[in-house]
């Protein structure tokens, strides 16, 4: 799923099959927020092909490590969103139950 | 803006943006002619020249992120997501619409249909009927799979309008009857003389679905009250509908939400005091009653209900008003709405959507390592 230059580890294009804006745009966000990233962006080469290319250029670190860390960040964000959301729902249900009585 | 020599600029507190840049980063400005500053500034070094770090710190995110539930019932839900980027909020929305699985009718075996609705139209209408069952209890059916009790749900519809009655009859979605034992139609390849074993039908259920604990006292139903067809005197519909698991990407009938959307929180700010006549004018301008008048010796306009603002920009349309009222949107505050079709409650849908995004990340991580 990965192609790019093998001499220069700091710049790669990753091609993800069966993915679209959903993942690529979120990853672009987390990648851009990483200080090690010099440039990143994504494109969908053809709309009828389920595939997205993510370009990552770093200031020196291997691009695949940086991408992996960004995925990790996104996962942590999701986990936090999930726990906060569940707590908010529980609170809402408790409060409303109390009001109805 | 007047020019200020660089050395006269006030010292900025460390790691904090000057107010105008902060506004541009966190708000969309809704001007009379067009919105500006609509883009999100993601790049970590965007403000490096100012000595401000724009990178993501998870502890900061954890501190700022909030969820507020506004409305919640079995079908609808409205909540605020505060402190998250549009790209991630949008990912949740996209997953809700197109990647969460549900069960929907995919195959319709028509034994008899003499109504004016053509078979293919009838099948299409049946497909869109939401089935009230938790899709997590079922498996996907791949191409070579045979339909069994773990991947299919079978419904029967038999409805007849008597010739003698002289009336028209309406067929509703709740006339679909669940068949926990699977299909009742015998395959045409089976010979009728073979009476030693049970004849093979279109499905191969090894056990009845209502013997499963999930469905024992909880028969599978569909959303009632949806008109499927109308029958004239003497007409009849007899068919079997087979539902399988799928996602909204393939066909909208598998989408678990009627729709799901968000809007950014509107922010209405009065840049100067608006009093007396002007205040009354302003209150009249707004079609959704955002403004009120308070009495402080003189009458003064206040922003009472900014949340209901639709950003129609009527209040700043006339010359001169743009200097008095500022309309903005908060870039990281989303008013998120989910309308479920009934398979799962909306709060479960959202947590499932977040889980799917996590799975996607995990997939990339495993492929990279
Ligand atoms: S933009 Fe429209 S809805 Fe919003 S405050 Fe102005 S007039 Fe009211």
Look at residue B194 and tell me whether its pLDDT is greater than 70: no
Residue B15 pLDDT grade (very low, low, confident, very high; cuts 50, 70, 90): confident
The verdict on B78 and B138 lying in the same domain is: no
Contact A26 B62 (CB under 8 A): no
Lowest mean pLDDT among A29-43, B194-208, B320-334: B194-208
Please report the number of interchain residue pairs, chain A to chain B, with beta-carbon separation below 8 angstroms. 121
**What mean pLDDT do residues B181-202 have?**
75
Kindly state whether residue B301 falls inside one of the protein's structural domains.
Answer: no
The distance in angstroms from the start CA to the end CA of chain A is: 57
Structure tokens at B200: 């093979």
- Give distance in angstroms: CA of B289 to centre of ligand 1: 8
- Kindly report the CATH number assigned to the domain that includes residue B56: 3.30.1360.10
- Kindly report the CATH number assigned to the domain that includes residue B112: 2.170.120.12
Residue nearest to atom 8 of ligand 1 (CA): B286
Structure tokens at B68: 């507020």
Q: Would you list which residues of chain B are within 8 Å, Cβ to Cβ, of chain A? A: 40, 42-45, 53-56, 58, 61-62, 65-69, 72, 79, 81, 84-85, 87-88, 90-91, 94-95, 99, 347, 350-351, 354-355, 357-358, 360-362, 364-365, 367-369
Kindly state whether residue B292 falls inside one of the protein's structural domains.
Answer: no
Residues in chain A with pLDDT < 70? 1-6, 97-101
Kindly state whether residue B34 falls inside one of the protein's structural domains.
Answer: yes
- Residue-level pLDDT at B68: 94
The verdict on B210 and B185 lying in the same domain is: yes
Q: Give me the CATH code for the A11-99 domain, please.
A: 3.30.1360.10
Whether residue B143 contacts residue B268, with contact meaning beta carbons closer than 8 Å, is answered with no
Minimal-distance CA residue of chain B relative to A19: B360
pLDDT averaged over chain B? Answer: 89
pLDDT in tens, B212-224: 888 878 889 999 9
Q: Give chain B as a 3 state SS string.
A: CCCCCHHHCCCCCCCCCCHHHHHHHHEEEECCCCEECCCCCCCCCCCHHHCCCCCCCHHHHHHHCEEEEEEECCCEEEEEEECCCHHHHHHHHHHHHHCCEEEEEEEEEEEEECCCCCHHHHHHHHHCCCEECCHHHCCCCCCCCCCCCCCCEEEEEEEECCCCCCCCEEEEHHHCEECCCCCCCECCCCCCCCCCCCCCECCCCCCCHHHCCCCCCCCCEECCCCEEEEECCCCEEEEEEEEEEEECCCCHHHCCEEEEEEEEEEEEEECCCCEHHHHHHHHHHCCCCCEEEEEECEEEEEECCHHHCCCCCHHHCCCCCCCCEEEEEEEEEEEEEEEECCCCCHHHHHHHHHHHHHHHHHHHHHHHC
Tell which wins on pLDDT, B94 or B47: B94
The verdict on B118 and B172 lying in the same domain is: yes
Nearest to B365 among A19, A33, A72 (CB): A72
Alpha-carbon distance of B93 to B333, in angstroms, equals 15
The verdict on B58 and B116 lying in the same domain is: no
B7 phi/psi in degrees, rounded to 5: -75, -10
Per-position b or e across B26-35, b if 16+ CB within 10 A of its CB: bbbebeeeee
Structure tokens at B247: 């996602």
**What mean pLDDT do residues B45-69 have?**
87
> According to the per-residue pLDDT averaged within each range, which of B201-205, B217-221, B338-342 is highest?
B338-342
Tell which wins on pLDDT, B207 or B133: B133
Query: How many percent of chain B have pLDDT more than 90?
Result: 62
Contact B347 A85 (CB under 8 A): yes
- Residue-level pLDDT at A29: 94
The ranges assigned to domains in chain A are 11-99
Supply the pTM of this predicted model: 0.90
- Residue-level pLDDT at B146: 87
- Give distance in angstroms: CA of B87 to centre of ligand 1: 27
3-state helix, strand, coil in chain A (%, to 5): 50, 25, 25
- Residue-level pLDDT at A3: 61
Look at residue B60 and tell me whether its pLDDT is greater than 80: yes
The number of domains in chain B is 2
> What are the beta bridge partners of residue B326?
B269
Alpha-carbon distance of B311 to B327, in angstroms, equals 7
Angle between helices B86-98 and A63-100 (to 10 degrees): 70
The verdict on B218 and B239 lying in the same domain is: yes
Lowest mean pLDDT among B6-20, B298-312, B341-355: B6-20
Alpha-carbon distance of A54 to A43, in angstroms, equals 7
Contact B69 A91 (CB under 8 A): yes
- Residue-level pLDDT at A9: 84
Look at residue B10 and tell me whether its pLDDT is greater than 90: no
Tell me, what DSSP letter sits at residue A84?
Answer: H
Residue B9 pLDDT grade (very low, low, confident, very high; cuts 50, 70, 90): low
The verdict on B107 and B249 lying in the same domain is: yes
Structure tokens at B234: 């003497």
Structure tokens at B317: 């349309």
Look at residue B137 and tell me whether its pLDDT is greater than 70: yes
pLDDT in tens, B247-271: 999 999 999 999 999 999 999 999 9
Chain A, 80-99: which have a CB under 8 Å from a chain B CB? 80-82, 84-89, 91-93, 96
Tell me, what DSSP letter sits at residue A14?
Answer: E
- Give distance in angstroms: CA of B337 to centre of ligand 1: 21
- Give distance in angstroms: CA of B70 to centre of ligand 1: 22
Q: Which residues of B touch A19 (CB under 8 A)?
A: 360
Q: Which residues of B touch A37 (CB under 8 A)?
A: 44
- Give distance in angstroms: CA of B282 to centre of ligand 1: 9
Kindly state whether residue B308 falls inside one of the protein's structural domains.
Answer: no
Q: Which of B229, B254, B279 is the last residue of a domain?
A: B254
Give the ligand 1 atom nearest the CA of B308.
3
**What mean pLDDT do residues B264-284 have?**
92
Residue B58: which domain range? 1-100+255-271+324-369
């Amino acid at each position: 799923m990965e192609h790019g230059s093998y001499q220069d580890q700091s710049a790669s294009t990753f091609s993800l099959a069966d993915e679209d804006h959903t993942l690529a745009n979120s990853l672009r966000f987390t990648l851009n927020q990483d200080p090690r990233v010099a440039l990143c962006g994504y494109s969908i080469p053809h709309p009828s092909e389920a595939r997205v290319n993510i370009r990552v250029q770093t200031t020196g670190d291997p691009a695949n490590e940086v991408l992996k860390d960004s995925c990790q960040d996104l996962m942590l964000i999701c986990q936090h969103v999930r726990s906060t959301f569940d707590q908010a729902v529980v609170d809402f249900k408790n409060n409303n139950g109390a009001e109805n009585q | 803006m007047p020019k200020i020599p660089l050395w006269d600029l006030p010292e900025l507190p460390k790691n904090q943006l000057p107010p105008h840049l902060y506004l541009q980063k966190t708000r969309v400005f809704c001007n009379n002619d067009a919105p500006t500053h609509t883009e999100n500034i993601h790049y970590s070094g965007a403000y490096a020249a100012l000595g401000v770090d724009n990178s993501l710190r998870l502890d900061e995110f954890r501190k700022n992120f909030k969820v507020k539930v506004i409305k919640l019932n079995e079908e609808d839900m409205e909540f605020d997501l505060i402190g998250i980027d549009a790209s991630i909020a949008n990912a949740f929305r996209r997953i809700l619409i197109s990647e969460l699985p549900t069960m929907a009718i995919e195959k319709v075996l028509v034994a008899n249909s003499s109504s004016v609705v053509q078979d293919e139209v009838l099948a299409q209408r049946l497909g869109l009927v939401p089935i009230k069952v938790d899709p997590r209890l079922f498996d996907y059916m791949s191409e070579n799979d045979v339909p069994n009790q773990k991947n299919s749900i079978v419904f029967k519809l038999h409805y007849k309008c008597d010739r003698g009655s002289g009336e028209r009859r309406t067929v509703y979605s709740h006339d679909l009857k669940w068949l926990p034992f699977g299909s009742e139609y015998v395959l045409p390849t089976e010979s009728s003389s073979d009476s030693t074993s049970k004849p093979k039908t279109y499905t191969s259920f090894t056990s009845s679905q209502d013997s499963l604990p999930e469905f024992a006292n909880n028969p599978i139903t569909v959303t009632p009250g949806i008109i499927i067809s109308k029958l004239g005197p003497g007409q009849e519909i007899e068919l079997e509908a087979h539902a399988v698991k799928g996602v909204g990407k393939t066909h909208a009938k598998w989408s678990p939400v009627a729709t799901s959307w968000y809007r950014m929180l509107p922010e209405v700010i009065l840049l100067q005091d608006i009093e007396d006549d002007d205040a009354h004018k302003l209150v009249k301008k707004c079609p959704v009653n955002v403004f009120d008048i308070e009495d402080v010796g003189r009458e003064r306009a206040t922003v009472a209900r900014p949340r209901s603002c639709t950003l129609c920009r009527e209040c700043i349309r006339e010359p001169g008003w743009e200097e008095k009222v500022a309309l903005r949107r908060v870039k990281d505050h989303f008013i998120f709405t989910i309308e479920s079709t009934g398979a799962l409650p909306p709060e479960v849908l959202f947590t499932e959507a977040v889980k799917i995004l996590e799975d996607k990340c995990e997939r990339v991580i495993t492929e990279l390592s």
